[in-house]
Amino acid sequence: MPKPPAASPSAPRRQPDPLGTATRRAALRLLDAVLRRGEPLESALGHATRALPGGPDRGLAHAIAAETLRRLPDLDTLIDSATRQRLPDDAKARSALRIALAQVLGLGTPPHAAIATVLPLVDGGPRKLVHGVFGTLMRQGVTLPEVARLPDSAAARWEMHWGMEMVEAAEAAIAAPPPVDLSLRDAAETAVWAERLEGTSFAPGHVRLGQDHAPIPDLPGFREGAWWVQDIAASLPARLIGRGEGALLDLCAAPGGKTLQLAAAGWRVTAVDQSESRLARLSENLDRTGLSAEVVRADLLDWAPPAPADVVLLDAPCSATGIFRRHPDVLYRVRPAVIAEMAELQGKLLARAADWVKPGGTLVYATCSLEPAEGERRLAAFLDSRTDFALVAPAPDVLPVGVAADPRGWLRTGPAMLADRGRMDGFFIAQLSRPLSPGESAR
């Protein structure tokens, strides 16, 4: 049997990768999943970070990938300013530089730590180039612009739908980490919690935390379930519904922010969703807050309730472009085909949900999308097909200060709202009544 060649004493021994390299490798995998395969960042997490030992490393890989996506066009401008020949968009050297720069310029990682943990990702490849470009930019003392750039496709689409003002608001919104909003179990205690949590309130039952708050589980009130995290825009569908004691179907309910609000407002809630993992979070949220709801796991395309309800809320699955500040991957992976596919699903779900509203009852349709196809146009198509429903404009006193309904009767929120107080997510919300026809009774 031939002997294996003896190791040459002069051959360089491979140094072990610096601590933290595996986390950067996972961040690179996450970027690749979003940019090349069009996967949602959250769904890619499990697979991309499975080799990491624990929560903090996974959290860091997620934070690096999210920060890179948040500022991608600006990071690319910096990289292009320091390379003689433009690196292809999918070059590994570009990805490694994006990750290194996002850490230094966005997350405050020391430059030596950022580059040392990123260079092994291009071992056997353009290591020198990555090192050189990074060094040049660090010597120049580059920073990220105060107003971020959006990727061209999202900017062009939103300019076409909403105008340049909205694009500028979105650019300002994504430049800063979004604030954290809380919804309170007991709206009567708003002032107490705003003071204890050192936050500000824009509406009863709402507190916006300041920038430098402690980790969420360490804040007063978390353990005893006095509040849950929910952007103020996401709290609006339940605010429109208000208090009540009847039967309410919360469709597409998980992880349950709206279920909690509605249960706290007195409704007998049945929360339906098809996702087991998201329903597990909903049940945990109910346990933590001591609120109750019937939880049903089902595909709404083939499930039906045993009886119609007084109120039906459909918080439909959507492109999620309205929550681009928290999920910047949507800016890259949501294309017209995705929007069209979601709009078709929303049409089917809405048609079914409408049939489950009692005569005299209420239907609320919501999406966290900034695409008219999933909001205004979906509503118009519904009203064309269902003349037994009528749009009900929100009463101004249920809306937070600074949030106004569209004069046509629906609610359209976005990054331009609350501009001087941290802004808000993009939602479309329509409240519809199903009036009683002559001879029909509400029971």
Ligand X SMILES: C[S@@+](CC[C@H](N)C(=O)[O-])C[C@H]1O[C@@H](n2cnc3c(N)ncnc32)[C@H](O)[C@@H]1O
Which residues are documented as binding site for S-adenosyl-L-methionine?
252-258, 273, 299, 315
How far CA 268 is from CA of 132, 309, 429, 443, in Å, comes to 63, 10, 22, 16
Query: In angstroms, what is the minimal distance from the CB of 1 to ligand X?
Result: 58
Query: In angstroms, what is the minimal distance from the CB of 252 to ligand X?
Result: 3
Q: Which of 170, 323, 368, 405 is catalytic?
A: 368
Cα(429)–Cα(412) distance, rounded to whole angstroms?
A: 7
Query: In angstroms, what is the minimal distance from the CB of 279 to ligand X?
Result: 8
Query: In angstroms, what is the minimal distance from the CB of 282 to ligand X?
Result: 7
Query: In angstroms, what is the minimal distance from the CB of 322 to ligand X?
Result: 10
Cα(341)–Cα(371) distance, rounded to whole angstroms?
A: 12
Active site residue 368: yes
3-state secondary structure the chain: CCCCCCCCCCCCCCCCCCCCHHHHHHHHHHHHHHHCCCCCHHHHHHHHCCCCCCHHHHHHHHHHHHHHHHCHHHHHHHHHHCCCCCCCCCCHHHHHHHHHHHHHHHCCCCHHHHHHHHHHHHCCCCHHHHHHHHHHHHHHCCCCCCCCCCCHHHHHHHHHHHCHHHHHHHHHHHHCCCCCEEEECCHHHHHHHHHHCCCECCCCCEEECCCCCCCHHHCCCCCCCCEEECCCCCCHHHHHHCCCCCEEEEECCCCCHHHHHHHHCCCEEEEEECCHHHHHHHHHHHHHHCCCCEEEECCCCCCCCCCCEEEEEEECCCCCHHHCCCCCCHHHHCCHHHHHHHHHHHHHHHHHHHHCEEEEEEEEEEECCCCHHHCHHHHHHHHHHCCCCEECCCCHHHCCCCCCCCCCCCEECCCCCCHHHCCCCCCEEEEEECCCCCCCCCC
The residue (of 106 and 414) whose beta carbon lies closer to ligand X is 414
The residue (of 117 and 431) whose beta carbon lies closer to ligand X is 431
Residue with the shortest CB distance to ligand X: 252
Interface ranges with ligand X (CB under 6 A): 252-258, 273-275, 278, 299-301, 315, 317, 368
Query: In angstroms, what is the minimal distance from the CB of 208 to ligand X?
Result: 18
The residue (of 164 and 304) whose beta carbon lies closer to ligand X is 304
The residue (of 255 and 394) whose beta carbon lies closer to ligand X is 255
Catalytic residues: 368
